[in-house]
Amino acid sequence: MQVAILMTHVAIAIALVVLILLQQGKGAEAGAAFGGGASQTVFGSQGSGSFLAKFTGLLAAAFFATSLTLAWFASQAGEAPEAGIPDAELIEQQNAVPTLDDGGRDVDNTAPALEESGD
């Protein structure tokens, strides 16, 4: 469930970026050179401005809802660990296991010193 909401969240985010980049700013007549003027006939006499603005608002509301849902899932996951965090008893058992450094205390592990030449 959480993965499906996350994938929807990412798709909405990409769609929001595309929609925001498609919209013309106020006083932007350069957009007509890239097809902005021709798209007004597709969306009616008012142009694509109101349609894109309404659709952007709808996607922003959906993005907000998926953000809150993912935050709720994250808060629920923090309360009860399902897997990955061992119990304290298991950690104590692992600390009691001897390591390689514990057995060889009488072995000299120091590196030999380089002799200095008196040139």
- Rounded distance between C-alpha atoms, residue 81 and residue 28, angstroms: 53
Beta-carbon contacts of 37 under 8 Å, excluding residues fewer than 6 positions away, are 31
pTM for the whole structure: 0.51
- Rounded distance between C-alpha atoms, residue 116 and residue 2, angstroms: 65
Domain boundaries, the chain: 1-25+53-74
pLDDT digits (tens, 9 = 90+) for 63-79: 999 999 999 998 887 66
* DSSP structural state of residue 45: T
pLDDT at 75: 87
- Rounded distance between C-alpha atoms, residue 70 and residue 61, angstroms: 14
- Rounded distance between C-alpha atoms, residue 75 and residue 63, angstroms: 18
Q: In a structure prediction context, what are the per-residue pLDDT tens digits for the chain, which is 119 residues long?
A: 889 999 999 999 999 999 988 887 766 555 555 555 555 555 555 556 688 889 999 999 999 999 999 999 988 876 655 566 667 777 777 666 666 665 555 666 677 777 776 65
